[in-house]
Amino acid sequence: MGRRDFVGRAGVFAVGLGIGAAVAAGPWVASADTSSPFDFGDFANIAAGGAAADSAPSFDFSDMSLSVDGMTLFQDGTATATSGTGDFAFADGAGSIANATGGAGNTAIADGAGAGSTADGGTGDYASATGIDSFANANGTSDYASASGYESSANTFIDSDTTVIANGADSSVVIDANKDLGIADGTNSTAGAEGTNDIAAVFGNDSAANVIEGNDDIAAVSGSNSSAQALEGTTDVAAVYGDGSTAGAGFGSGDLAAVVGDGQSAYAELASGATTVVPSSLAEIFDPSLATGSADALLLTDLLGLL
C-alpha cells in the first residue's frame, strides 16, 4: 500500500470518529518541514513584552534555556537546552531538558517543570513536551512527537515519517516502526504500534489501542475503558465505538472486528477476510432513522469501506 493510500485510509477512518479535520491537518500527512516551527520574531516580541505576548504561551524566565545551531543564546535557572548544528532546543521550567542533536533540522521543546524532549535520531525530527514531567522523544528521521499533559509521554524509536501524539494526564504513545500514526487522546490512555503504515488511536479515558507486528493495520478506540488490538496481520481493523468494550483482529489479512456500543466484544482472528460486527445485525445500525448521519452509522460505513 502506497503512502497516499495509507493517508486516505487514515482520513476515512477519522471522519467516522468525527476527528477528520484534526487528523487531516496533522503534520504526518505532508512531508516533514525541517525548519523550526518556533518563530524567532515572536520570541523576541515576547521577551520584550510586545503584542505577541498575549497569544503566546506563558514563559517562566527564571528557569529557561535556549540553544540554536549549537550555541546557547539564553540560560537561567535549572532548565537545560542543547542543540547541534542546524538544530533548535528550548526548555522552560524547573529541571526541564530539551535536546536537539544528531542531525540538522531537529527541534526539541520542553515546557513545564521536569519536562523533557529529545530530537536526536536523524534529521528533521520534532519533539515537544508540555506539562509537568511530560516527555517526548523523536528518535528517527522526519518524526513528530508531541506529549501534552501531566506525566504524558510520546515516543518514536529509530523510525521515519512517524507521528505520535499523547494528549492527557498519564497518556502514553510508543511507536517502534515506520510511517505509523499513534494517538492517545485522554487521561491514562495508551497507544502503540510495531509495524509499518499502521494506525493506533485512542480517543477516551483509560483505553488502549495496539498494533503488534502488523502492516497497514488499524486499532482504534472511541470511548472509555475500552481496548482494540490488531495482531500479526495485514490490512486488519479492530475498532471500538463505546465504553467498556473490546475488539481484536489478527493472524490474517483483511479482517474486521468492530464494536458499536457499551460492554461488548468482537473478535475476527485466524482467518482472512473474517468480519465480526457487534451488534450482529447491521440493520440495528443502518436504521432509516440514522440515515442523516449518526456517528455509529458513519463509523461502520467507513470501517467496512477500508477493506
DSSP three-state, residue 22? helix
Please determine, for residue 260, whether its predicted confidence score (pLDDT) is greater than 50. yes
E strands, 142-186, in order:
144-148, 153-160, 163-167, 172-175, 181-185
Lowest mean pLDDT among 36-45, 71-80, 85-94, 229-238: 36-45
pTM for the predicted model, two decimal places: 0.74
Residue 7 reports pLDDT greater than 60? no
Higher pLDDT, 305 or 159: 159
Q: Helix, strand, or coil here: 41?
A: helix
The domain tally of the chain equals: 1
Phi and psi at residue 2, in whole multiples of 5°? -75, 165
Residue 20 has pLDDT above 80, yes or no: no
> Cell numbers at residue 90, please?
528550548
Residue 219 forms part of a structural domain: yes
Residue whose C-alpha is closest to residue 113's, from 129, 136, 89, 137 = 129
Question: Which H/E stretch holds residue 269?
Answer: strand 265-269
Which pLDDT belongs to residue 280?
60
Size of the chain, expressed as the number of residues it contains:
307
Average pLDDT, integer, range 13-28: 38
Residue 84 to residue 72: CA distance in whole angstroms: 10
Q: Is 64 part of a structural domain of the chain?
A: no
- The per-residue pLDDT for 302 is 52
- Angstrom distance (rounded) from CA 139 to CA 114: 20
Residue 259 resides in a domain: yes
CB 184 within 8 A of CB 203: no
In a domain, 126, yes or no: no
Position 149 in a domain = no
Q: Which residues contact 110 (CB under 8 A, 6 or more apart)?
A: 79, 81, 90, 91, 92, 93, 96, 97, 98, 116, 117, 128, 129, 134, 136
For residue 165, give its domain range.
Answer: 3-31+161-306
pLDDT band at 44 (very low <50, low <70, confident <90, very high): very low
In a domain, residue 66? The reply is no
Confidence of residue 169 (pLDDT cuts 50, 70, 90): very high
* 206 φ, ψ (degrees, to nearest 5): 55, 40
pLDDT band at 130 (very low <50, low <70, confident <90, very high): very high
- By the 10 Å C-beta count (0-12 exposed, 13-18 middle, 19+ buried), 180 is classed as buried
Residue 26 or 79, more confident: 79
The predicted pLDDT at position 281 comes to 54
Total Cβ atoms within 10 A of residue 138: 34
The pLDDT of residue 61 is 67
pLDDT tier, 251 (very low <50, low <70, confident <90, very high otherwise): confident
48's grid cell = 520584550
pLDDT tens per residue, range 197-222? 899 999 999 999 999 887 889 999 99
Cell of 146: 508531541
- Is position 57 within any domain? no
Burial of 122 (0-12, 13-18, 19+ CB in 10 A): buried
What integer is the mean pLDDT of 283-303?
Answer: 45
Model pLDDT, residue 255: 86
Of 28, 102, 101, the C-alpha closest to 68 is 101
The one-letter code for the residue type at 62 is: S
Q: What are phi and psi of 16, to 5 degrees?
A: -60, -30
Per-residue pLDDT tens for 65-113? 999 999 999 999 999 999 999 999 999 999 999 999 977 899 999 999 9
- Classify residue 130: in a domain, yes or no: no
